[in-house]
Structure 1
Amino acid sequence: MTFLERMINTVLSTIHLIKPTMPSFGNLVAKYVPEKPFVSNSELKNSYLLHIIDGDILMDYPIPIASNAILCGGLAARPAESLITRIESFVKKSKDGLVIVALGSIIKSWPEQITNKLISAFQKMKHFNFIFRSGEYEKEYGNILLLPWLPQNDLLGHVKTKLFITHCGKSSVFEALYHGVPMLAFPIALDQKSNAALIIDKGYGISMDILDFSVNELVENINIVVHNSTFMFSIKNASEIFHSRPQTPTQRAAYWIDLVTKYGSDHFRPASLDMPWYCYFMLDVYLVYLVGIVLAVYVLKVFLKYCVKLCCRKKNAKEKLQ
């Protein structure tokens, strides 16, 4: 990030720390499983804690991570299965490849002109077939198949798939990573914008503004991502790294759950859980440093002032002698 971006990020992180946007564990229990006993923050803090995080270094920047936090990003991704006959017959008709378009459930509530611009761009690219999750009914015209729901993971794993146009939801991004499909991002809200920034930074694809794009711009960007081998190389390389690991995300999560069930979590319990907040943020250390610096400056100031007075006194004494 640039210096300004880091400044803004620091402010936002501090605000999020003071006023978290996520509800507490106790509130979630009370809302969704009220028949279960309430769990307070102090009880949670002292319990066997294991954080299974839907994240991966391939879809994030290098981060410091606690010993009880396990990265298991891509839990929903899996090998592709056969497509149903109706979709498979449409896929086979594609000449140069298939483009999957899935922009989340928000598509049902956004302005119709956005959907019309997307379809207009797809119609200009007759050499590709587009499967677009849009609307409530199945409809096919030309090289576009509109579906109310689509088997996204199975389509991304199809040999003819060349591009994934996505809103950058976490699961969608991991499915594309799993199958090695470059992306054209249309982030809308929440973590989607940061996911899109990572896609750009890691060379998995490019990003566009869903509220400000032209038909020709979309056509040009689809061609760029599909025909520029750099994007395909980056995502395929990341996919190979993902698959090279000795455990799948599901196996990794299961292993750690079994381990905690068997032995507890004392052996990887972070010391930070038992630290006062001011120690955790090293405020006591910074305070001592600050007091030390202030005292040093004060002593130096007094010493210099004394030296100046001493010099002036000697000078006055010499003048009187003369």
Structure 2
Amino acid sequence: MSLPMGNISGISLLLLVVSVFLLASPGVQGGKILVFPVDGSHWVNMNLLIQNLHARGHEVTVVRSATSWYIKEKAPHYHSITVTLPEAISIEDEDFFVKFLEKMLAIQKEGASFVAFVQFYWEMLPALSKMHQQSSMLAVEMFENKTLMQSLRDSQFDVALLDPGLPVGVLVAHELQLPTVYNVRWITSGEAHFVAAPSPISYVPTSGNAATDKMTYLQRVNNIIHYLLNVCFDRCVVCPLYDKLVERYFGPGVDFYHLLQGADIWLMRVDFVFEFPRPTMPNIVYIGGFQCKPSEPLSSELEEFVQSSGEHGIILMSLGTLVKGLPVDITSEIAAAFAQIPQKVIWRHVGERPDNVGNNTLLVKWMPQNDLLGHPKIKAFVAHGGTNGIYESIYHGVPIIGIPLLFDQFENILRVEARGAAKSVDATKLTRQNFLETIQEVLHNPSYRANMKRLSALHRDKPMHPLDTALFWIEFVMRHKGASHLCTESYKMSWYAYHSVDVICFLLAVMLMLTAIVVGSIRFVCFRLCRRSKTKQE
């Protein structure tokens, strides 16, 4: 049966249009991605990457434990592999952080004494050690499950996307011979730059030390002490746990730390608008604030509450995903301070409700934080100092009132404070009076908002959104089966070779030898001249 010429021309035209569209599209052939995330707030970041990778046609498989807190077994944008562990990882226990915070606050109340310093590490180090010990069992359960490992090999993944805060995925990726991409800021020894790039501790603050890049002599001493403690803990407590696994499953020729340092691409959740300037490497890609996006309209109920603030506006308060709430004696002081201001307050609060909550304060168990931070009536953000909240504040230009509680939160708030866009309050010394004074200073001193607006302009002024940058480099590694041309192998050098100690010693030896020869020659000549002079005199 023949078709009319008009129909043939129409079909040809349609095929031509479709072909041109497909050729012009920057689409990427779908690949297979194996993901090892870390639970809690880290998962919020990883999940966003997974959603966007799925939307671009990639097949994503997530490895999770049976007790995962945030990482669900079933989701529309990924498949999951659930591993049952003998003991749940501490970070997956909601009560762990509540109890841990209580201990840390009790220690902080003692001030900056040597005893408090020792108590802090006495509590912190065993907790982290136990977390890594529990996490390492994930590798054991996977490697001992021959059926599972064969299934992973048969899946022929293109890349492993890992959060190396708990580096089990590093071992599995090595076994499967997969190129690796890290979604990272923290690693076993602290901030990831200290593993991936040169980190002069004369001006680069080390993990756990809340300092700027302009340190006094005593601050540099303190920085070195923190650095040595981090290295000792990492090499003496954490690494041996994984070294045993490496020796057990890969043999003596493989070094765990070399595996950890050997990632193809480091997607660093850092922006130098926030981070202090420091050395970097070609395979480190900066994606700080990749989760930030324009705000969306609020629900009618929430919008009505916000609009009721009138010209005074609103203040937002959230302590992140890990901590349910502060002790009631602290929250009562916060509530009393909030009750004295004309602004309306939206407070994400899950713990025990304070008795003195003012009529201007709305307590909620969940809130659209990004949408509220982007609302025209927002005046300030009371935050604990988690990086997600800080980057959202920077993106929307909202000044911060910081109440740092745990881990890197003290350093994070200090970084924004150093830029004049935040002011912090010590949670252990918080009273309704000093908290109220801090709120009023941030609200009424225009420099805080102006400085944060400047940071926001710098953060947004990029050729590509950080999320698009992250997706590009993940797909880059998939296309090219790695990125070895960007990776230095300096980490495989011995410490004395890396710092050229052997070369310096050799050159010093040569110089000493030459000096000895010259001095010896001069002495010999002088001795001969003296003898000849004596002979003539005789």
TM class by shorter-chain length?
A: 0.7 to 0.9
Residues 1:13 and 2:231 aligned together: no
1:282 aligns with one of 484, 490, 500: 500
Give the structure 2 partner of residue 320 of structure 1.
Answer: none
- Give, as a single letter, the amino acid of the residue that structure 2 aligns with 1:272: S
Alpha-carbon contact 1:184-1:222 (below 8 Å) kept: yes
- Is 1:112 paired with 2:332? no
How much has 1:292 moved relative to structure 2?
A: 7.0
Stretch deviating more after TM superposition (200-209 or 134-143): 134-143
Q: How does 1:1-322 map onto structure 2 within 5 Å?
A: 1-20=215-234, 41=256, 44=259, 49-95=264-310, 96-105=312-321, 108=324, 110-125=326-341, 127-135=342-350, 141-263=358-480, 264-288=482-506, 295=512
Show CA shifts across 1:189-224 (max 9, x none): 111011111111111111110110221211111111
Percent identity over the alignment is: 29
Would the alpha carbon gap of residues 46 and 58 (structure 1) be closer, same or farther in structure 2, given more than 3 Å must change?
A: closer
User: Partner of 2:309: helix, strand, or coil?
Assistant: coil
Contact 1:138 1:148 in 2 (8 A): no
Shift of 1:279: 2.0
> Matches of 1:192 and 1:271 in 2, distance apart?
32
Deviation at 1:111, TM superposition (A): 2.1
1:59 Cα deviation after fit: 0.9
Contact in 2 for aligned 1:181/1:232 (Cα 8 Å): yes
| Partner Cα distance (1:186, 1:255) in 2 | 36
Q: SS state of the match for residue 428, structure 2? A: coil
Relative CO higher for 1 or 2, CA cutoff 8 Å, sep ≥ 6? 1
Over 3 Å counting, the alpha-carbon distance change for 1:285 and 1:197 in structure 2 is farther
| CA deviations over 1:62-110 (Å, ceiling 9, x no partner) | 0101111111111222111111222211111113111101123565353
Listed one character per residue, the Cα deviations across residues 2-32 of structure 1 (whole Å, up to 9, x for unaligned) are: 11111111222233234329967x96xx9xx
Shift of 1:272: 1.5
Deviation per CA, 1:171-206, whole angstroms, max 9, x where unpaired?
A: 111111111101011111111011111111111111
Structure 1 position 135, deviation (Å):
2.6
CA contact (8 A) 2:337 2:435 kept: yes
Counterparts in 2 of 1:274 and 1:184: CA distance versus 1, 3 Å? same
Is the 8 Å Cα contact of residues 137 and 146 (structure 1) preserved in structure 2? no
RMSD over aligned CA atoms reads: 3.5
After superposition, the C-alpha distances for 1:110-150 in whole angstroms (9 at most, x for unaligned) are 3211000000000010x201111113699985110011122
8 Å Cα contact 1:98/1:129 also seen in 2: yes
Aligned counterparts of 1:221 and 1:62: Cα–Cα separation in 2: 29
The alpha-carbon distance between structure 1 residues 290 and 225, as it changes in their structure 2 partners (threshold 3 A), is farther
Contact kept? 2:264, 2:486, Cα under 8 Å: no
Whether the 8 Å contact between 1:162 and 1:181 is mirrored in structure 2 is yes
The secondary structure found in structure 2 opposite 1:59 is coil
SS of residue paired to 1:104? coil
CA contact (8 A) 2:339 2:358 kept: no
For normalisation by structure 2, the TM-score amounts to 0.50
* Preserved contact between residue 133 and residue 150 of structure 1 (Cα < 8 Å): yes
Separation (CA, whole Å) in 2 of partners of 1:115 and 1:135:
11
Counterparts in 2 of 1:132 and 1:261: CA distance versus 1, 3 Å: same
Find the residue that maps to 2:401 and give its secondary structure: strand
Give the residue type in structure 2 aligned to 1:100.
Answer: L
Within 2, Cα distance between the matches of 1:218 and 1:42?
45
Residue by residue over 1:245-276, the C-alpha shift from the partner in whole angstroms, topping out at 9 and shown as x without a partner, is: 01111101111122222223122112414423
Q: Does the residue aligned with 2:227 lie in a helix, a strand or coil?
A: helix
Retained in 1: the 8 A contact 2:264–2:483?
A: yes
Maintained 8 Å contact 1:73/1:174: yes
Tell me how far apart the structure 1 counterparts of residues 448 and 461 of structure 2 sit (CA, whole Å): 20
Q: Distance in 2 between matches of 1:105 and 1:253?
A: 24
Q: Which amino acid aligns with 1:278?
A: Y
- CA distance in 2 between partners of 1:120 and 1:42 (Å): 50
Give the conservation status (yes or no) of the 8 Å contact 1:136–1:147. Answer: no
- Provide the rounded CA distance (Å) in 2 between the counterparts of 1:76 and 1:195: 17
2:27 alignment partner in structure 1: none
Measured in 2, the distance between the counterparts of 1:43 and 1:64 equals: 20
| Contact 1:122–1:219 (CA under 8 A) maintained in structure 2 | yes
The superposition leaves residues 218-239 of structure 1 with CA deviations (integer Å, 9 ceiling, x where unpaired) of: 1111111122121111111111
C-alpha distance in 2, partners of 1:238/1:190?
24
1:48–1:260: 8 Å Cα contact kept in structure 2? Answer: no
C-alpha separation in 1, matches of 2:257 and 2:227: 23
Letter in 2 for 1:94: S
Q: Deviation at 1:286?
A: 4.9
How far off its partner does 1:45 sit? 6.5
Partner-residue secondary structure (3-state), 2:285 = strand
Structure 2 counterpart of 1:78, one-letter code: K
User: Structure 1: how far apart are the matches of 2:363 and 2:387?
Assistant: 23
